[in-house]
Amino acid sequence: MSHSHQHSHSPKDLRGQKLLLSIFLNVIITVAQVIGGLLSGSLSLLSDALHNFSDVLSLIVSYVASKLSKQKASINRTFGFKRAEILAAFINACTLIIVAVLLIIEAVKRFKDPQEVESSLVIWLSIIAIIGNGLSVLILKKDSKNNINMRSAYLHLFTDMLASVAVLIGGLLMKYYQLFWVDSLLTLLIALYLIWVGTDLLKVSTKMLMLFTPDTINIKDVVRAVNKLPKVSKLHHVHIWNLSDDELHLEAHLDLKEDISTTAFNKLLLEIETVLHHKFNINHVTIQPEFNKEDPKEVIVQD
């Protein structure tokens, strides 16, 4: 069996620094919103504070996962902690949904018993939260495009920024039109949005944890591309999965047309790696070469 890989490295140390800065900003926002929510009686402000607190926890999880993912492999941990960031994204997705459910429960209770809110305090604190979360969103935006862990942290912060905008609108409506029921309505809308983004992130992270084939990969296309190469009869028993955001793995059996030497197979393997990397961004390849071996060659994905 032959094994080869190519890695694309990313500035994970910088990611950690960005997460620490976002944690600091969100701790300040959370404390301010809790105090303000209690003083003003605003449920939407307290709900935003709860969401912000979940942001702090999710950012801490993301930071720890980012640090763990850089640790080297060992005899007992042959992959190291490379999947820690995927696990962090899964945990963060779950917290988004749990927080949303709690907010819905509180919003329904407040709908039945609307309470007067000190709207001026709500307005000023929501503006502070928008600025703080907006800075955090800008800090993490670039890394969120290439890393599921950073994306989960980014989504927490982005949704909280939107929640703060909603709280600001609610504060203005309460101040100038005395529409205090808006406080509960906005809480409900924030919660529904959290469920929407949390569910999507949960599905993506679950697929990665279950080693499902990425949605961007069609295994039949991969097989066809490899089968076009000289000396290849058929690629079969294929598995393709994300070990992490940076590593896309393929392992498979390769039926050869002729009994070639190890040197010739190494040359063929290099061609396969090139095709897989350029066409499908697969950067970690493990191939078991076969010639005249009796097994079901028509099976593409079954063990």
The CA distance from 298 to 77, in Å, is 34
Task: Report percent pLDDT > 90 for the chain.
Answer: 29
pLDDT tens, position by position, 225-258? 999 999 999 999 999 999 988 889 999 999 999 9
pLDDT tens, position by position, 45-104? 777 777 778 778 878 888 888 888 788 888 888 888 888 888 988 988 898 888 888 878
Please report which helix (H) or strand (E) contains residue 299, including its range: none
Count of other CB atoms within 10 angstroms of residue 109:
11
The CA distance from 126 to 161, in Å, is 9
* Better-scored residue on pLDDT, 276 or 166: 276
**Which residue is it, tokens 């393997």?**
269
Q: Which of 54, 272, 77 is nearest to 152 (CA)?
A: 54
The CA distance from 239 to 214, in Å, is 11
Q: How far is CA 211 from the centre of its chain?
A: 15
- Fill in the DSSP letter of residue 69: T
Q: How confident is the model at residue 265 (pLDDT cuts 50, 70, 90)?
A: very high
What pLDDT, on the 0 to 100 scale, is given for residue 8? 44
Q: Which of 238, 244, 240, 247 is nearest to 283 (CA)?
A: 247
Q: Could you tell me if 121 and 36 are in contact, meaning their C-beta atoms sit under 8 angstroms apart?
A: yes
Domains of the chain: 7-209 (1.20.1510.10), 219-290 (3.30.70.1350)
The CA distance from 229 to 231, in Å, is 7
The CA distance from 104 to 111, in Å, is 10
Which amino acid, residue 84? A
What pLDDT, on the 0 to 100 scale, is given for residue 115? 62
Which amino acid, residue 113? D
pLDDT tens, position by position, 142-189? 888 888 888 888 887 887 788 788 778 888 887 888 777 777 787 788
The CA distance from 76 to 138, in Å, is 39
Q: Which of 245, 249, 240, 251 is nearest to 8 (CA)?
A: 245
Contacts of residue 144, Cβ cutoff 8 Å, sequence gap at least 6: 150, 151, 153, 154, 155
